Amino acid sequence: MPSQYTVGVDEVAIDDDFWSPWIDRNRDVTVEYQYEQLKESGTLENFRRAIDGESGGFQGMWFQDTDAYKWIEAASYELAKADDPDLRERVDEVIDLVAGAQEVSGYLDTYFQLVEPEHKWTNLNIMHELYCAGHLIEAAVAHHEATGEESLLDVAVDFADHVDEVFGDEIDGVPGHEGIELALVRLYRVTGEERYLDLARYFVDLRGHDDRLAWELDHSEEIGGASWDDGALVPAEGGGSLLLDEDGEYVGTYAQAQAPVREQEAVEGHSVRAMYLYAGVADLVAERGDAELRAALDRLWANMTDKRTYVTGGIGSAHRHEGFTEDYDLPNESAYAETCAAVGSVFWNQRLFELEPDPAYADLIERTLYNGFLAGVGMDGEEFFYVNPLASDGDHHRSGWFTCACCPPNAARLFASLGQYVYSTTGGELYVTQYVGSDLSTTVEGTAVELDQESALPWDGEVAIEVDADGAVPVNLRIPEWADEATVTVDGDEVSHDGSGFVRVEREWNGQWVELTFEMQSELVAAHPAVEADAGRVAVRRGPLVYCAEAVDNERPLHDYALDDDATLRTAGEADALDGATVLEADATVSDRDGWDGELYRPVEDTEREETDLELVPYYAWDNRDPGAMAVWHRRA
């Protein structure tokens, strides 16, 4: 089994009208650019200086090493799908630098090696050595799986062994930024070494129990990177205050340490960290089983999806701590909804699906991929949103790279490995979880299976899948939550189903065509009445896509448009400027502006509305043309 999910990157070849251009741009533009950034930002130079035994001169963020690791991971996924000697050579060069910089003990973190060698493992809240280790391990496993080589895996193993020696013995503590937990499970899966699973479980179980994170705040003179006022070491605006409540007391929520994981009731704090943690917990449950942890994941998932998720699948309501706030607090213009958090949500949900093939997980992944995630990437593959608001006054735009460059490389590794999310073979059955044109070649319980999927999503609900197998294999086909009606046929014979969830077809497969037709209607949706930001508002969805209005398409200020509950929503052609995206048009009204001269307030009976259309484009496509205002939620007339 592959290290992450039941289907590996190398088993799926995506060839899809919608997704292939994104994946190609990712490979040709983003991953290339990412490599140039490793040179320009000093990331590689940090490793070189460590190799040369230099002191000081560290460049970039204190967790800059992860840029190299994330690039290796993304590049490795590309190598897994198709060999590329040039890329392989560059990967090997970077690996040589990484390996060379590792200390004899196994320790590897160029910030501490160059700047504060005396302060290793002293500031777990902020200084992210374990987070760096996690990305190193993920890169190493991906590289090993892609190439069969052990050059980076050996580095990861040595570092993991070193962490295993230090933690639980010299030091008891957990990372402020999670990520190592899921990485250790991946490492266990390729090495078979149970100690890594034990270590992952140690980090999961200790969180919320130990007071190490609080202790550090009281001992700033003894810990690394403790000059809170030094811009380079303050993780986000507010610095240490993110970790403290109004009375200056430590609270664990920022790093999901408010309670032991198995007792947690709600998703809290920094949303990327939360997603990485819960993904790791799902991995642990998969390996070890743990009803209590499993129940905690169910509670946390229900809290997130019922009360703390944007209609785009985005998560994280506040900039201040880049994270979750309170139930139903989902402001639109000030939403955080970090691109990395959407990626993390996909990680977590795919793992939950592998644990238990509930279609709700796949539905959320679909919603997130097409909206909350994809909006983070410009249609040129060169510009990115870190933050994905659901409304903008026109001042929010993508930029080329970020000082803290977490989102672009995270998008890169997701695009490069997207095939893993299209299928699953969990429980010995084949699941088609996403409708993305692709060839799958895998085995299910030892039986070889080949699928050839063609999909018209997200524009039309037509899917055709040719299935070939060496024996009888149950194939499960998801009816998306957005499909009002669904028809499933096998070689023209209709398959009966109850209209939701998975349609299971178990039979011998010899090139039969499964054809699926999902009725795709544009619809107006409302948010739960407790969501203040969306009160009296509606959003437009069509199939898996959330739509938005942009100023460039609409004459009046966006706040002036109102939609009746029974407003007609029409498809209105394909936008060339948006790579042929289907755009929509909605019956709407705007204010009659007559009689307002010299008046700022008038009795309502003197105000009229007039009919017009509201033009809508897919949310993921916004801010790819003339800059301007944007709104996902429109006034409900």
Which stretches of the chain bind a second copy, using CB under 8 A? 302, 305-307, 309, 311, 523-532, 535-536, 538-539, 557, 559-560, 562, 565, 590-591, 593, 596, 598-605, 607, 635-636
**Could you tell me which residues are beta bridge partners of residue 618?**
547
Shortest distance, CB of residue 357 to a second copy, whole angstroms? 19
Residue with tokens 């003990």: 105
Residue with tokens 């003197």: 606
CB atoms under 10 Å from CB of 478, counted, come to: 23
Q: How many residues does the chain have?
A: 637
**What are the residues facing 159 on neighbouring strands?**
none
| DSSP code for 611 | E
Q: Can you tell me the distance from the alpha carbon of 432 to that of 32, in angstroms, rounded to the nearest whole number?
A: 31
Nearer residue to a second copy within complex by CB, 447 or 500: 500
For a second copy, which is the closer residue by CB, 232 or 302?
302
Handedness of CA 128, 133, 134, 138 (dihedral sign): positive
Q: Smallest distance, Å, CB 527 to a second copy?
A: 6
CA distances from 252 to 200, 248, 255, 595 (A): 19, 12, 6, 56
In the complex with a second copy, which residue's Cβ is closer, 205 or 333? 333
Distance CA 46, CA 8 (A): 33
133: three-class secondary structure by DSSP: helix
Neighbouring CB atoms inside 10 A of 96's CB total 14
Q: What one-character DSSP code corresponds to residue 384? A: B
Q: Could you give the CA distance from residue 24 to residue 21 in angstroms, rounded to a whole number? A: 5
Provide, rounded to whole angstroms, the least separation between the CB of residue 298 and a second copy. Answer: 12
Q: Which of 322, 338, 515, 615 is catalytic?
A: 322
Locate all alpha helices (DSSP H) within 102-241, ordered by sequence. Answer: 110-114, 129-147, 151-166, 180-191, 194-206, 212-218
Residue 482: both structure tokens together: 């957005």
- Identify the CA nearest to 91 among candidates 68, 110, 60, 107: 68
**Inter-axis angle of helices 194-206 and 151-166, to 10 degrees?**
50
With respect to a second copy, which residue has the nearer C-beta, 560 or 579? Answer: 560
Q: Compare residues 525 and 577 and give the one whose CB is closer to a second copy.
A: 525
406 catalytically annotated: yes
Backbone angles phi, psi at 276, to 5 degrees: -65, -40
Residue 326 vs 626, nearer CB to a second copy: 326
Nearer Cβ to a second copy, position 176 or 314? 314
CA distance 160 to 510: 46
CB of 459 to a second copy, least distance (A): 21
Closest separation in Å from C-beta 311 to a second copy: 5
Residue 252 beta carbon to a second copy: minimum distance, rounded to whole angstroms: 24
Between 148 and 529, name the residue whose CB sits nearer to a second copy. Answer: 529
Q: Give Cα 610 distance to the centre of its chain.
A: 42
The residue whose two tokens read 């009204």 is 589
- Residue-by-residue DSSP string for 76-119: HHHHHHS--HHHHHHHHHHHHHHHHH--TTS---HHHHHT-GGG
Which residue reads 């909350």 in tokens? 372
Asked if residues 280 and 178 have their Cβ atoms less than 8 Å apart, the reply is yes
Q: If DSSP codes are grouped into helix, strand and coil, which group holds residue 430?
A: strand
Task: Kindly tell me which of 81 and 634 has the beta carbon lying closer to a second copy.
Answer: 634
Strand partners, 6: none
Integer Cα distance of 316 and 319 in angstroms: 8
* Complex with a second copy: residue 94 or 538, whichever CB lies closer: 538
| Other CB atoms within 10 Å distance of the CB of residue 355 | 18
Active-site hit among 406, 407, 454, 615: 406
**Would you call 149 a catalytic residue per the annotation?**
no
Residues 476, 503: contact at Cβ < 8 Å?
yes
Active-site annotation, residues: 322, 406
